[in-house]
Amino acid sequence: MKIKRYPFLIFTLFICTLLFGCWSKKELRDLALIIAVGIDKKDGKYISTFQVVNPGNVAGATQRGGGSTGLPVALYTSTGDTLVEASRKASKQISRIPYYAHTNLVVVGEELAKEGIQQIFDVVERNPQFRPTANIVIARRQTAKQLLSVLTPVDKIPANQMIKTLELTEMMWGENVGTRLREVIESFSLAGKEVIMSSFHVDGNRKHSDDQENVRTMEPTARLRASELAIFKRGKLVGWIGKEEARGVLWILDKIKQTAVTVDWKGEKEALSYKVVRAKTKVTAQLRNGKPIIFVTVETEGDIGETFVAIDFTDPKQIVALEKVMQQEIKAEIEKAVHVAQKKKSDIFGFGEVVHRTYPKEWKKMKKTWDDKYFPKLDIQVKVESFIRRTGLRTRSYIQ
Amino acid sequence: MERARISARQLFMLAILFEHGSAMVIPLGVDAKQDVWLAILCGMVFGGGLLFVYYRLFTYYPNLPFTSYSQRIVGSFFGKVLALIYVLYFLYISARVLRDFGELLLTFAYPETPLFILNAVMMLTVMYAVYKGIEVIARASQLFFFSLYWILMLGFVLIIIAGEIDVRRLQPILEEGWSHIFHVVFTQTLYVPFGELVVFTMIFPYLQREEKVWKAGFLALLLSGINLAMIMGMNVAVLGADIVSRSTFPLLNTIQEIRVANFLERLDVLFMIALIVGGFFKVGVFFYAGVIGVADLFALKEYQRLVYPLGISVLFLSLAIASNFAEHIKEGLRIVTIYMHVPLQMIIPIFLLLIAMVKHQKKERKGR
């Protein structure tokens, strides 16, 4: 070949080929790292709120505690007929390219959630930058913007504070659950499953929530707090479920990792706490006379955490009796949750999908009317088996 | 034909990489919804039948590529016409795969780069490899076989650790019944990627020991069929049938779901490597078969002379075949399958095999 004759030309071509890799280059200092997006709707237009990380003020600067240093995040709001439009219009205020690869949180305002959230996820799915693992929460009694404009003390970036709170409370208490974008999108396509999402609200005085003053007091005047679970039906918010009922939902969804169940004992109210260490739920379906019946079987394992009454824990019979009480308590929670969901006619437990998987042929007939006809009258058999394995560092309590 | 020899092991690895090529990343057979893995396995079984046809043809003419023995079987004129059709088919498919590759990269990684640049860089690499010959491509396949396998294993293990797999998403099995599965098999999964092994009729003659062709080819088919079924099954188990069927690259979405210990996430680069390696071998093998075919058909001694003109034609063809992604995909699923894959992968080879069998029986009788 004649390669030897044109070494310079070949070399130039080679370098050019390599340079194509720099075509869409974006420098780090030209990017606005959006950590959370809030979405509201007003007068038919979408209002997007972007929580942008201010990298210089995240580490180091705020630790030094100087009041004059800047805030770890900045907030931008932009309006548009579509979300893409709002995002592009934001360039009028932000000097950097909005970059969504680090967006871990999407907040939806309650008003928009009631109106319907189906539209807002197409862009999220379509855009290659966006993470499908991002969490989504609802702003309870607030707009998404109000929720995103609260500064937080320990975890400096409010979005991270919310995500970590959510993860922790899901693991330790089990009344809230983190919902990923992908789960929401998946639920839209399933006739037998509706989605639930956790909500957050601002506790305390919201007036100066976005001021640095908020994090300079020991007890911030405005705090973010995980709130009830939002029940959706075909992409619309139809109700809320909280407290014990919310935990009941998580029992059925097999999302409980650890929690504490408090029960009455021999006339004494709320006398004893049972720490659940492991829990496993199985949901099966059966057809009887053409009608589906759902069986929910919960198995829990745990220790005694605390007692206010004198019980002899060295006696295995007492333990068995206690286990029975626990089972009733958990069963009651689950049944309450089912009752609320049936009243709202929203199959948040995915019972329809269980029927779909076990009886695909019969499901085709039920599919259309599942929510309104079958689910509200569904027969659900709950069975709980609780085991108390250990009682901690003491056997009997000093309480007599 | 060039003077080259490859070993059975190299053929096996080349075929594996070829099969995985684009099939791994595109939504393969997703019309079967959650039974997609079943559709792929059935496609593999019938693909085995097709491979057997190609193999039998090869045993009759162990030293000739397809473009030569087609002339022996149906006579010089019709044989040449057939050979020309096949050569054009190979070149066209290599342009299609190149387009696939460019579109995929453009959609998720290089939104602002022109398609031409991405395709050109890829095609230059392919042209260089083909210029160097089949031995070089085969050796490269040995190298990349292990890296690709390593990546697949890593991805698989990470998905399992991340706890994203929910086998319940694969249920109910056979919701639409077998007829629906077979419909998908005979309109999609049989031809891409299994029937595409027809291109290896141009490469079998290079094998050192011809008796090993069947074993290497069959094992490659089996392994890639199982792998692809596992990959698509995993996609459904992670994402759900609906998202998979709407996704342009399900495997990318699956990999994006990986989140281990809060730092192993966004492993898109694994997908990129798999895509580029697979794309290179698929375009490379089709292009090589096309080039060798033209050289054989027109009795050129040095096939290397054809690499640059044909390579540039393929490059421009890859840009010209469709004006947008939707058109490209629609053509691939409807027109190419019915008018190209079915006759060229199935009908003509079976037809040729029948004639060859009759001819050889006659010969044997005369010999006696």
- Which whole number is the average pLDDT over A187-210? 87
> CA-CA distances (angstroms) from residue B138 to A20, A378, B23, B209?
28, 62, 20, 15
pLDDT at residue number B78:
93
Q: Is residue A19 part of a domain?
A: no
Of A20, A186, A190, the CB nearest to B121: A20
- List, for residues B109-124, the tens digit of each pLDDT value: 888 888 998 999 899 9
pLDDT band (50, 70, 90) for residue A63? low
- Report which residue type is found at B184: V
Task: Tell me which residue has tokens 């901690």.
Answer: A392
- Nearest chain A Cα to B124, which residue? A17
Answer whether residue A69 shows pLDDT above 70: no
Same domain, A278 and A366: yes
Q: Is residue B3 part of a domain?
A: no
Q: Which of A3, A131, A282 is the best substitution to test chain B (most B C-beta atoms within 10 A)? A: A131
- List, for residues B14-27, the tens digit of each pLDDT value: 999 999 988 888 88
Task: Tell me which residue has tokens 């004639």.
Answer: B355
- List, for residues A71-117, the tens digit of each pLDDT value: 888 999 999 999 999 999 999 998 898 899 889 999 999 999 999 99
Quick check: helix, strand or coil at residue B190?
Answer: helix
Answer whether residue A58 shows pLDDT above 90: no
Q: Is residue A251 part of a domain?
A: yes
pLDDT cut 90: percent of chain A above it: 46
pLDDT band (50, 70, 90) for residue B1? low
- B241 min Cα distance to partner chain A (Å): 9
- B88 min Cα distance to partner chain A (Å): 27
For residue B311 the two structure tokens come to 């390579």
Same domain, A210 and A315: no
Are B148 and B24 a contacting pair, CB within 8 Å?
A: no
B186 by Cβ neighbours in 10 Å (0-12 / 13-18 / 19+) ranks as: middle
Q: What is the DSSP letter of B347?
A: I
Q: Is residue A3 part of a domain?
A: no
CA–CA separation, B144 vs B17, rounded Å? 8
Q: Is residue A350 part of a domain?
A: yes
A17 CB neighbours in chain B (<8 A) are 121, 124
Question: Which residue range forms the structural domain that includes residue B158?
Answer: 8-367
Q: Is residue A17 part of a domain?
A: no
pLDDT cut 90: percent of chain B above it: 54
pLDDT at residue number A62:
47
pLDDT at residue number A2:
54
- Which whole number is the average pLDDT over B57-78? 90
Name the helix (H) or strand (E) containing B296. helix B268-297
Same domain, A169 and A227: yes
- Nearest chain A Cα to B162, which residue? A133
Q: Which range among A295-304, A313-322, B216-225, B262-271 shows the weakest confidence by mean pLDDT?
A: B262-271
Q: Is residue A13 part of a domain?
A: no
Bridge partner list, B96:
none
A56 by Cβ neighbours in 10 Å (0-12 / 13-18 / 19+) ranks as: exposed
Same domain, A129 and A226: yes
- Nearest chain B Cα to A361, which residue? B175
Residues A186, B111: C-beta atoms closer than 8 Å:
no
CATH code of the domain containing B12: 1.20.1740.10
Task: Tell me which residue has tokens 């990986």.
Answer: B258
- Is the Cβ of B266 closer than 8 Å to some Cβ of chain A? yes
- Report which residue type is found at A48: S
Integer-rounded Cα Rg, in Å, for chain A is 26
Residues 192-231 of B with CB under 8 A from A: none
Integer-rounded Cα Rg, in Å, for chain B is 20
Residues A24, B113: C-beta atoms closer than 8 Å:
yes
pLDDT at residue number B368:
63
CATH code of the domain containing A267: 3.30.300.210
- Is the Cβ of B115 closer than 8 Å to some Cβ of chain A? no
CA–CA separation, B220 vs B216, rounded Å? 6
Average pLDDT, chain A: 88
- B358 min Cα distance to partner chain A (Å): 47
Last residue of a domain, one of A183, A206, A241: A241
Could you tell me which residues come within 8 angstroms of residue A81 by beta carbon, excluding any fewer than 6 positions away?
A: A44, A45, A46
CA–CA separation, A256 vs A249, rounded Å? 9
Same domain, A144 and A259: no
- Is the Cβ of B168 closer than 8 Å to some Cβ of chain A? yes
pLDDT at residue number A59:
62
CA–CA separation, B221 vs A13, rounded Å? 39
Q: Do the interacting molecules here have an ipTM over 0.85?
A: no
A131 CB neighbours in chain B (<8 A) are 256, 265-266
Bridge partner list, A39:
A48, A108
CA–CA separation, B353 vs B350, rounded Å? 5
CA–CA separation, B173 vs B34, rounded Å? 7
Last residue of a domain, one of A241, A261, A279: A241
- Report which residue type is found at A170: E
Within 13 A of B94's CA, how many CA atoms are on the CB side? 29
Same domain, A202 and A328: no
Residues B172, A189: C-beta atoms closer than 8 Å:
no
With CA atoms as reference, report the closest residue to B251 among B151, B143, B170: B151
Same domain, A187 and A247: no
Question: Which residue range forms the structural domain that includes residue A48?
Answer: 27-241
Same domain, A117 and A261: no
Are A300 and A279 a contacting pair, CB within 8 Å?
A: yes
Q: Is residue A102 part of a domain?
A: yes
- Which whole number is the average pLDDT over B176-184? 89
- List, for residues A273-303, the tens digit of each pLDDT value: 999 999 999 999 999 888 899 999 999 999 9
- Nearest chain A Cα to B111, which residue? A24
Are A332 and A298 a contacting pair, CB within 8 Å?
A: no
Average pLDDT, chain B: 90
pLDDT at residue number A68:
45
Q: Is residue B1 part of a domain?
A: no
Q: How far is CA A144 from the centre of its chain?
A: 15
Could you tell me which residues come within 8 angstroms of residue A87 by beta carbon, excluding any fewer than 6 positions away?
A: A48, A78, A80, A98
Packing angle, helices B115-132 and B76-108, rounded to 10: 130
- Which whole number is the average pLDDT over A49-59? 82
CA–CA separation, A52 vs A90, rounded Å? 12
With CA atoms as reference, report the closest residue to B239 among B224, B225, B226, B252: B252
- List, for residues A139-183, the tens digit of each pLDDT value: 998 899 999 999 888 888 899 999 999 999 999 998 999 999 988
Answer whether residue A3 shows pLDDT above 70: no
Task: Tell me which residue has tokens 């702003």.
Answer: A139
- Nearest chain B Cα to A283, which residue? B168
Last residue of a domain, one of A224, A241, A258: A241
Same domain, A70 and A80: yes
Q: Is residue A10 part of a domain?
A: no
Q: Is residue B363 part of a domain?
A: yes
Same domain, A123 and A203: yes
Could you tell me which residues come within 8 angstroms of residue B335 by beta carbon, excluding any fewer than 6 positions away?
A: none
Size of interface A-B (CB pairs under 8 A): 50
Please give the tally of structural domains in chain A: 2
Same domain, A174 and A298: no
- B36 min Cα distance to partner chain A (Å): 16
For residue A162 the two structure tokens come to 């919310």
Same domain, A215 and A302: no
Task: Tell me which residue has tokens 């995985």.
Answer: B20
- Which whole number is the average pLDDT over B311-326? 93
- Which whole number is the average pLDDT over A39-53? 92
Please give the tally of structural domains in chain B: 1
CA–CA separation, A367 vs A190, rounded Å? 10
Residues B168, A357: C-beta atoms closer than 8 Å:
yes
